[in-house]
Structure 1
Amino acid sequence: MGTSARGAFRRMAGVVVAGALSAGAAHAQGHYRDTHYGEGTFYGYSGGGNCSFPPPSGLTAAMNEADYNGAQACGACIVVTNPANGSSVEVRIDDRCPECAPGDVDLDEEAFVQIAAREEGRIPISWVYVACTPPTLSLYFKEGSNPWWTAIQVRDHRYPVASVAWRPSGTTKFTKLPREMYNYFVATSGMGAGPYDFKITDVFGQVVKVYKVALDVGVDIPTKKQFPLLGGQTVRRVLSSALAAPR
């Protein structure tokens, strides 16, 4: 599909029926240490992707529907390699590519030209998840959030976020929040006036707890916390040990 058509398709597909996610979730769950293979393409991107992040300051990409996994891939960092020339580029997942096959990645144009000539348009790729580098994760209450309808997003996390649970501060029981395709965890009946405690779990089972968070809507709330590096990794170490492994 051409780059302009692909972008238009993605914008039209911003909402999908929940039942359509089952196949994608089954494909992607538990594949965060694997090397993935597919095709790389590019499109023009300057923000406004399905992950609902602010305009990016670095290189980004849109993840195929299966590996997007109901927005679980949002904010993840991956290294994409062109096996034809050995060039690699690191990108953050900011968007979803509904028409992409499993394993495919739709790179922003600036990222694509770091590994291939623009005129190639579509190339075979391999890719792996890596640790992102932000020093501290942050929380963001979506505009319109209030005590009766509350949506929260986790930003600047080292590894993909699997779940978010909350409780009123001073209580004991956490309640897991459902995640929407636009990458917010939503309490449709609200969370009350706050403050709140949050339990944030990454795809490897690591947990960060944040306490006494006020309902401060529309601003990044730094937590001074981050998921630990796995197994003594350096920040840039690839999670998979098989970056260049054959298919």
Structure 2
Amino acid sequence: MTFLILFSVFGLLEGATHQGILNLYHQKYNGDGTYYGAGTGGTCSYPPPSMPPVASHLDKLVALNAPQFYGSLSCGMCFRVHGSGHGAGNDPITGTFTTYVKDLCPECHAGSLDLAENGDGRWKIQIQAIQCPVGNTKIEYKFQGSNHYYLKLQIRNARIPATQVEMYQPKSHRWSALRHTTDGFWVFGSDHVDKPVVTPFRVRLTAANGETVVDHIPKLANDAVIHGDGVQFSLDSSLPH
């Protein structure tokens, strides 16, 4: 009975998070724009020089507010931002521009962003998520601290964030879910996994809008960008881009 209750609560929380991500596309949010200094590092674990390719096609790098960060599921998302120029400080945020989420702003409220550049002040902004302009680039992968008995995998350069990641287990003929971490990776959260993990292996990625793609990861190499067969989530006509 306890297990069923916990499973049900987990499912409700997962559903709320999924809907929260989609709401970032369907709604516009008002908040504050601030500055926290230039830099490419951050909570989302995109250490230089390996920022995902799509980041170079956006105007600014940002830290997203804590309520809409969703435990780092928002890492790698893209936002359209409009600055009104109203606020206080020496460097007003004005006009419309695009941003890439690479960090968390712990003290920021919903609708707010912290710009990864030098500046001063707190300015009124409006934000809305957009599908990332990935062009013809594909989803990438990166391992951290992994071996054939423990996997910690990052999903990079996705048009829409993945909210579920699974790996196929050939011995047991089933898909096993990976658990999301607060620093933007996916790890095995259960001991019920075929070990050792043999490469290449298949991963199944489910986007926030429900689309599912299957890809192959050819090798296990830590701290290196890895390319699979070349899949990408489709452009969704119902979401801003």
8 Å contact 1:194–1:213 — kept in the other structure?
no
TM-score of the superposition, structure 1-length normalised? 0.74
Within-5 A mapping of 1:154-193: 154-169=155-170, 172-187=173-188, 189=191, 192-193=196-197
CA offset digits 1:160-208 (Å, max 9, x no partner)? 2211111235764111111010011012557623222101111111111
Q: Which runs of 5+ in 2 are unaligned?
A: 1-12, 86-92
**Quick one: distance in 2 between partners of 1:29 and 1:137?**
19
TM-score scaled by length of structure 2? 0.76
- Structure 1 residue 60 displacement after superposition: 0.8
Of 216, 233, 237, the residue aligned with 1:227 is: 233
Q: Could you give the per-residue CA deviations for residues 6-47 of structure 1, whole angstroms, max 9, x where no partner exists? A: xxxxxxxxxxxxxxxx7x949934313211111110111322
Q: Who is 2:127 aligned against?
A: 127
Number of residue pairs matched?
A: 205
Structure 2: how far apart are the matches of 1:45 and 1:28? 29
Are the counterparts in 2 of residues 147 and 192 from structure 1 also a CA contact under 8 Å? Answer: yes
Amino acid corresponding to residue 66 of structure 2 in structure 1: E
**The structure with more strand, counted as a fraction of residues:** 2
CA contact (8 A) 2:217 2:226 kept: no
Asked if 1:99 corresponds to 2:110, the answer is: no
Deviations along 1:134-172, one digit per CA (max 9) or x if unpaired, are 311111111x20012210000111112211111235764
What fraction of aligned residue pairs are identical, expressed as a percent?
25
The letter of the residue matching 1:127 is: I
Residue pair 2:18, 2:163 contacting (<8 A) in 1 also: no
Residue 212 of structure 1 deviates from its aligned partner by 5.3
Q: Root-mean-square deviation (CA), in Å?
A: 2.7
Runs of at least 4 residues of structure 1 off by over 2 A? 24-30, 54-59, 83-86, 168-172, 188-193, 211-214
